Structure 1
Amino acid sequence: MRFSHMVTAAVAASTLIIATAPAGAHAIWFAQRAKQTALIYGVGADDLDMVKRLPLVKSVTGYDSDGAPVNTSLRAAGAIPVVDSDEPIAVVAAVMDYGYWSKTPDGEWHNKGRDEVPNATLAEHNFKYAVYLTQMPTKQIPLYEGHTLQVVPVGTAIPQKMGEPMKVRVYYKGQPIAGATVMQDYVNDPDEVNPAKTAADGTATIKVRNQGNNVLMAIYVAKSDDKKADHIEHSASLSFVLPHVPE
């Protein structure tokens, strides 16, 4: 699949200096900013600097309403990266490898593996994925290449009113996975007390929280065969917007 990253050399050469940020607490998702689709990095209402993290984005892909690929890229526009495409897109998706993170006994996080931080109390490798539906689907959302974890609506009927139930299925490596966490409103309730857990068939039912922007977040922690990390944390967002009453 074709993709490109339109970033400046200065951005591409930048390094991350965020040793105090817990890596697994953040995620990526798409949202509208000034009528443009932006890729957001953060947690809850905290939109952090995604532009300097663009080198960590491994793919950006767009698809039209028939599911055909559309040439799609990210462009740094001030403080946020926005989506550019050759033609209208119905779905846009992104994959980020956030790298290795280790937590030392003093509570600080470092962008290194356990091999470099042998006294770490926790070491993990973080991957983050995002899928955004710019319009309501007319067919089942497929699994996208490179998305080790993905949350998809079951069927094509996404509820159109806040409070209605919505059934989703979480896939890990292309197969439904049990025990994944599904948060129903990652932006407005990032500390959800009792998030849903997927059943044996990978499904969970949540309630649509907003008559506007909705960001669902699936999280799954997998075993690591790499001695640099104790485990691998995957977080995958699914975002869409419900229409409001016409003005």
Structure 2
Amino acid sequence: MAFSRLATVAVGAVTLAAMAMPASAHGIWFAQRARQLALIYGVGADDLDAVKRLPLVKSVTGYDADWAPVTTSLRAAGIIPVVDSDEPVAAVAAIMDYGYWSKTPDGEWHNKGRDEVPTATLAEHNFKYAVYLSQVPTKPVPLFEGHMLQVVPVDGIPQKMGEPMKVRVFYKGKPIAGATVMQDYVNDPDEAAPAKTAADGTATIKLRNQGINVLMAIYVGQTADKRVDHEEYRASLSFVLPHAPE
């Protein structure tokens, strides 16, 4: 399967103030809110303040059905950031650099690296990615520029809940073995036995919902950055299966 790399549109980034919550536990994904496509930050049913975290979003990009770029941006609309585009989009993607986080012996997380928190029991750099497909792709889903981790459908997307779906996880543009793939990040964030990717980067999950499905791939990568022990990547793939006509 051939994949192409597509350009991203930067929306800027600044440092976020420290927050005492596990940085690695949360992800980002796109979902409908009042007929608008919104960028969600959270885990499970915890839909947290994504507007406050907008400065950490490095890019948001939109594409048509042929994967040609469509001018796309995020706009704060009250308590949620929503997608604005010049024309309808078949897919939207986003990158968030969540920065450096260190956990101290008292269990608190600090928005700093190990160089500033020498007593840390764990230090990591967190990256979060999201891809939303508003329709069944008619062409292979490409690898998006800047997405260090990405989940891609292998044989399309089945349209019925309970059917198997094969995906491939890419890390730095190559299929990666050993990545975790959660099949329902919103309704089952504590999934007991999530899938693991094989040597070719593939895993097969079951579609859990006749509605929105949020798949989440998780991978911990090594780094030469002495300020952290590792880098953690979370990449969502979300899409909606149609319900029966009303």
TM-score, structure 2 normalization: 0.95
Alpha carbons of 1:98 and 1:65: their partners in 2 closer, same or farther (altered >3 Å)?
Answer: same
Name the structure 2 match of 1:29: 29
* Corresponding letter in the other structure for 1:146: G
Query: SS at the partner of 2:96?
Result: strand
1:162-208 CA distance string (max 9 Å, x none):
00000000000000000000000000000001000000000000000
State the Cα distance separating 1:224 from its structure 2 match.
1.6
1:68-104, Cα deviation, whole Å (9 max, x unpaired): 0000000000000000000110000000000000000
> 1:105 aligned to 2:133?
no
Q: Name the counterpart of 2:242.
A: 243
Q: Verify the 8 A CA contact 1:62 1:89 in the aligned structure 2.
A: yes
For the 8 Å contact 2:143–2:150, the answer to whether it is kept is yes
The one-letter code matched in structure 1 to 2:240 is V
CA contact (8 A) 2:10 2:58 kept: no
1:234 maps to 233
* Alpha-carbon distance in structure 1 between the residues aligned to 2:199 and 2:140: 20
Q: CA deviation at 1:13?
A: 7.4
CA contact (8 A) 1:2 1:71 kept: no
| Contact 2:161 2:207 (C-alpha < 8 Å) held by counterparts | yes
Output aligned runs, 1:133-152, within 5 Å.
133-152=133-152
Aligned match of 1:181: 180
Aligned-residue identity in percent: 79
Q: Secondary structure at the match of 1:55?
A: helix
CA distance 1:198–1:2, shift in 2 (3 Å): closer
- CA distance in 2 between counterparts of 1:25 and 1:180 reads 16
SS at match of 2:100: strand
Partner of 1:217: 216
Instruction: Tell me if the contact between 1:129 and 1:235 (Cα under 8 Å) persists in the aligned partners.
Output: yes
Q: The residue matched to 1:51 in structure 2 has which SS? A: coil
What are the superposed Cα offsets for residues 32-71 of structure 1, whole Å, 9 maximum, x if unpaired? 0000000000000101000011110000000001110000
Change (3 A) 1:32 1:71: same
Q: Which runs of structure 2 are paired with 1:42-191 in the superposition (5 Å)?
A: 42-155=42-155, 157-191=156-190
Runs of 5+ in structure 2 lacking a partner? Answer: 1-6
- The separation in 2 between residues aligned to 1:216 and 1:119, in whole angstroms, is 35
User: Any idea what SS the aligned residue of 2:144 has?
Assistant: coil
Paired AA for residue 210 in structure 1: N
| Structure 1 segments unaligned to the other structure (5+ residues) | 7-11
Kindly state the Cα deviation for residue 14 of structure 1 after the two structures are TM-superposed: 8.2
* Count of residue pairs the alignment pairs up: 240
Q: Deviations over 1:114-140 (max 9, x none)?
A: 000000000000000000001111111
1:9 paired residue number: none
Distance 1:15 1:185 in 2: 28
Secondary structure at the residue paired with 2:159? Answer: coil
**Aligned mates of 2:212, 2:176 — CA distance in 1:** 26
Residue identity in the other structure for 2:209: N
Shift >3 Å, 4+ stretches? 12-15
- The Cα RMSD (Å) is 1.3
